[in-house]
Structure 1
Amino acid sequence: MTESDGHRFYGDLAVWWPLVSAPAEYAEEAAFAASLLDTADGPTRTVLELGSGGGNNAFHLKTRYAMTLVDISEAMLAVSRELNPECEHLQGDMRELRLERTFDAVFVHDAIEYMTTEDDLRRAVETAYVHCRPGGVAVLVPDSVAENFEPETEHGGNDAPDGRGVRYLSWSVDPDPSDTTTRVDYAFLLRGVDGSVSVAHDTHLLGLFPRELWLRVLSESGFTAARVVAEVTSEDRLPREFFVGFRPA
């Protein structure tokens, strides 16, 4: 789920997403995620991705699995349909979704961070559980956990052949370490085909939970829970933690 309510990033700015974050940037992490999705009991052929956003993970995973992509933002689904026309796309909230069918695996990338309370997180994990077949696996990937969060600033962006371009700056902070949220502010410079540049700002509230809570929520939802630390080749990134739930056969 990319949370669209009140977020320009996933609303009127969604058309710029391919220039904010390119699919190539997701290749390494998608490959590691696939190695965990393949740990289901029996072959992993079908994968439900919750909070699929602009489809950058699916761009890599669709070569291995039949992907069903769900996001709360119709604008982001439109972007993903252009990138991944082979995939099934559905609009829905990961806290409430019920498709009345199961998959070999369920994948939730960093959209899981829009769960800002334990209740939100629990509801999202329960959604993953009910859509995971017996013997299947769920893989959830927050950007940070409470034990390793650090304030940071990032920047990036890309250019398109038609002259459009994006440059962005993100600023992540934890205003109140006693609660379960952090704040990220984004500033965007958006260059149109005519060369004119506009400025946009967007603020996102994200959830931040300790490892123990992640594992407990997975276990209490019915999964056998595990934590896996990804191998990272980039020297400027902390190892990313994947939370894996195995649904008993």
Structure 2
Amino acid sequence: MWKAYDELAWTEAWLEDPRGVEEEVATYRRLLEEHAHRPVREVLHLGCGAGAHDRALKRHFRMTGVDLNDAMLRLARRTNPEVEYHQGDMRSVRLGRQFDAVVIPDSIDYMASREELALALTTAREHLLPGGALLVVAKPRELFHDNNFAYTGERDGIHITVLENNYVRPPGDEQYEATLVYLIRQGGELDVQVDHHRLGLFTQATWEHAFREQELNLHQQDLEGIYEPFMIAEGEYPMRVFIGVVPGGGEAEA
């Protein structure tokens, strides 16, 4: 299991950017309400992490969250006690109910193969009502390149710096590597932790095919400015929002 989501999960509170998350969620809300063919009230968040997105999303929707990591779910429940959280794997979890929308704004990269991506989208599709919308934030391979980032935070006498290096593996390998170095200083003592992640990186055509396989009507919008403020040296970190809509639905179902 990755350190970032286990013994280092507590650092999320030091590193989060609430204003940035609010702006990000405003975009997602607009896209859901613009493209869904039914009123969006109940939303399932797959890969919800520590609940930062849910803190903003819950002001507009009734949220349910799923995450694989118990440490992250403990933080999410503490942050959002009114949100219903479940421990589960987005590749296989089944909650036995359907929602107006499913969102995966921050964790689809952990689907490290086409097979895993298909499983995650199948999970989302099976939890959607007619006319419901699936929103996924992705990094098409054509837009992605090697980058370095720095994140910092300080509170309770603890200062944290996280350096992240992204390395795109050679053509033909549908993955990239993210290596994180944590510098945690408390009481003059420095603790250094390293965490290494292998993540999926798929072409635009692969993404479009994955949505077609789920029989979802696809809409797209580019998303910029989320990670650029944290980049070391100038550069761009474009992402793309894919919104897949289930046929059917309509205002009559309100």
Name the TM-score, length of structure 1 as normaliser: 0.92
Aligned counterparts of 1:157 and 1:57: Cα–Cα separation in 2: 19
Give unmatched runs, 5+ long, in structure 1.
none
Structure 2 equivalent of residue 129 of structure 1: 125
The 1:102–1:80 alpha-carbon spacing in structure 2 relative to 1, beyond 3 Å, is same
CA contact (8 A) 1:58 1:67 kept: yes
Structure 1 equivalent of residue 232 of structure 2: none
Cα-to-partner distance string for 1:2-25 (whole Å, 9 max, x where unaligned): xxx2x1000111111111223333
CA contact (8 A) 2:140 2:239 kept: no
Name the TM-score, length of structure 2 as normaliser: 0.90
1:120-199 to 2 correspondence within 5 Å?
120-142=116-138, 144-160=139-155, 162-192=156-186, 194-199=187-192
Cα-to-partner distance string for 1:30-49 (whole Å, 9 max, x where unaligned): 11111112131121001000
RMSD (Å), alpha carbons:
1.6
Cα-to-partner distance string for 1:178-201 (whole Å, 9 max, x where unaligned): 210000100001123x34221100
Structure 2 equivalent of residue 213 of structure 1: 206
Q: Give the stretch that moved more between structures: 197-206 or 12-21.
A: 12-21
Letter in 1 for 2:194: H
CA contact (8 A) 1:215 1:226 kept: no
Give unmatched runs, 5+ long, in structure 2.
230-234, 249-254
CA contact (8 A) 2:144 2:237 kept: no
Q: Secondary structure at the match of 1:85?
A: coil
Cα-to-partner distance string for 1:120-153 (whole Å, 9 max, x where unaligned): 00000000100010010000002x2110111000
Cα-to-partner distance string for 1:42-62 (whole Å, 9 max, x where unaligned): 210010000011111111111
Q: Give the stretch that moved more between structures: 28-37 or 120-129.
A: 28-37
Letter in 2 for 1:173: Y
1:227, CA displacement in angstroms?
A: 1.8
1:157, CA displacement in angstroms?
A: 1.5
Select the residue among 210, 225, 228 that pairs with 2:221: 228
1:83, CA displacement in angstroms?
A: 1.4
CA contact (8 A) 1:96 1:127 kept: yes
Equivalences, count: 241
- The question of 1:78 aligning with 2:69 is answered no
Aligned counterparts of 1:65 and 1:222: Cα–Cα separation in 2: 25
Aligned counterparts of 1:145 and 1:156: Cα–Cα separation in 2: 24
Aligned counterparts of 1:197 and 1:129: Cα–Cα separation in 2: 46
Aligned counterparts of 2:144 and 2:169: Cα–Cα separation in 1: 12
CA contact (8 A) 1:46 1:66 kept: yes
CA contact (8 A) 2:134 2:244 kept: yes
Higher strand share: 2
Q: Secondary structure at the match of 2:143?
A: coil
1:74, CA displacement in angstroms?
A: 0.6
CA contact (8 A) 2:143 2:238 kept: no
Letter in 2 for 1:98: R
CA contact (8 A) 1:164 1:195 kept: no
CA contact (8 A) 1:112 1:141 kept: yes
